[in-house]
Structure 1
Amino acid sequence: MIRRDFIRQAGALTGGLLLQSQMLAAFTEIAPSDSVFNVGVIGCGDRGKGIMHTLKELDGKFRVTAICDPLDFRLKEAEAEAAPFKPAAYKDYRKVLDDKSVSAVVIAVPLNLHYQIAADALRAGKHVYLEKTMTYNTAQAIELVAVSKKYPKLTLQVGHQYRYTPLYFRVKQIIDDGYLGKVTQIDCRWDRNWNWKRAVPDPSLERKVNWRMYKEYSGGLPAELLSHQIDFINWAFNTQPDEVLGAGGVDFYKDGREVFDNVQAVLRYSREGMIGNFGATCANAHDGYMFRLKGSKGMISLLMNEGFYYPEKETRKELDLVDGVTGATKIQMSKDGGIPLLKEPLKDGTWYALNDFYKSIREGGLPASNVFTGAKTAICVDMANQAMYQNSIQTWKPSYNLS
């Protein structure tokens, strides 16, 4: 970036980046409308109940009229969460799809069920909000894209909510505007010191409640956690990895689980000249959520709801020069030299995502996280898992290009 361009753009960095119109629209509340959509929530575990709670915060855009879960205690919890709505309760998701008054469904079930229920919902004429990761494996991702193409007037949105938050839009704009320079390294972690298990009211329900622990149902840590960061890199750089390497093991919790509690994946983006390191452990929480993008001009460090830009030495000199020339307020930096990316408080990412779901249903068009982007990330996650379980290098195939 030549100096005059850097000076011209610096006001955006120091005073708050000017958001492009499509970015702004993606996380601005839609004006009140007479359109209220009846929603059925399929899957009433922690995530399903959390989405129900957020649906009630959206100023009458959605009404929960049906809930579904095969477990009685979850249905009871969901009925309490749905208040003041009084939804019909079902154990079979097909009963929700048969209800002609239901316009849209939220699907928050174990990963191995995502494809079948989403495909059946589209065939039943329902708009779909499908939790991440979109599908259990690559074959299902390809097939769900094919099914979705048959119903172009129906919205299928995938729950990678970072595509909707102001903070992550800002990071994408910083990348597009060249403030990072040439990005070569991406370091991501999502660590915890917890066994990742839920309490089970009856031992016979172990696999149904703790499905995340078992390969039959789950994509493990890459699907449940790291998929968010992998998806953001796909979006921010309009890319996907050429090669994926991985390692993992059940290294700490010897409790009968099948999915790894300690994983590391390395994704090589040859076109961009980038290496992405994506790791998670269940045995140490010090780093927690960590997301760093390292470029020749600076680095971005992200937490859940805040981020900082760390200019390189020469870039810092240019920023200081810009302040002197323009007379702008001195850049405020943190103790370790970072420039805050966003000052205004943020809502939960699901709030922004569900607003976009409403907009997509009402106005048409693809949501920011759609069947094509969801498929790309699901394939990346599957590649990472295959690399880990098979001790192999997985390569991106032409058949994975679905848009």
Structure 2
Amino acid sequence: AETSDVTAAMPEKLDARRMGEALEELSVDVDRWLLLLPNPKAAEARELLNHIDRWTLLATCDHDGVVSCYRTLKGLSIYEKTAARRPQMSLALLDVRSNDEADRVALKLAGVCEQFLHWKLDSEPTVKPATNVQSHLELFCRAGRETVGMPQFDVVRQFVTSTPSPAATPPSAPAPAVLNAPPIVTAPVAAIAPTVVAAPIVVAEPKLAAVEVPPTSAPAAPTVTQSGTETSMPAAPSEVIDLNGEDSNPTAVVSAFVRGRNGLAETPVKAPNCPTASLAVNRDRKLVLVAVAKQGLCDLRDIAMAYRWLTENRPLIAMALPQFSIEPTHAPRLQLLVDQTDVRADVLQPLLKADHVNVQTYRKLRWGERTGLLLEAA
């Protein structure tokens, strides 16, 4: 029958025996299956998914497709907690306009999957329409309201577990496109294989920034360790932030800045291009990237790439961190800390004029046994 005939066919009453016989008969010739699960969160579906070792996630390359794909990845938090093992997961893209677009989307989704799920997402060949294909209807049955128990899941589960699961194989040639369909499961005959389902996102609880309380008594006069000359304590205590110990590397400076600023809540997310930077949320529910440029501004390019990553992925980050109530429509801000000796560098001048960038210089101070940072507007 042609595809139109298959689509127009009416479902029969569910017969578990006929369904099992049809699967056994087709398994002689069919080596790859598509298993449709309208609701992967259902208990019966989750039990079935426990027997499937390879999942393939189908997604389009447009913005809606990427967001929908991310929600699918985030959705099955229950499965993540109950699964005995983690299956192999790959990504197959639909409606690809160019190889560059496919690589960019695949890299973004793989990065999100690794960042939030700690789950590797492999890449499949892009899915292309198959023109020389005909459809033949073997059996079309549906469980009615009078059906007791959902026997269709029992039949499919018996079929899945009837043969041992083969070892995972590398991605094969692209399969025919299945368009306008909900999440799909693909499988070889020896065992059901790739599935299109969701996985959870485990996000740590937010760490609220602590407020540094200025000392009540007059401290000893601080000295600038960089030049050795003495300087007076600034009038505004909020401009001096304590450092934990003697370390003044970028990670320690960022941590001290976030910890010493009221109104910033640090998130567990790290930008992949700049691991020393910290992602925080301010009182206006806007994302703020706090980064320190090393002396000489040699890592300014990495900070720019991290900010670009944050700008492109802020809707996904907002969904992954619901406890922060992030407003994804607002452009994120960049809080850049630079060494005082680099403030007049030519490469830094365009950033000083940008509306979304706040640049401050820092110097390391010591007073008594305490070490801190003196922050000044650039």
TM-score range, shorter chain: under 0.3
TM-score scaled by structure 1? 0.22
TM-score scaled by structure 2? 0.23
More helix by share: 1
Q: Which has the larger radius of gyration?
A: 2
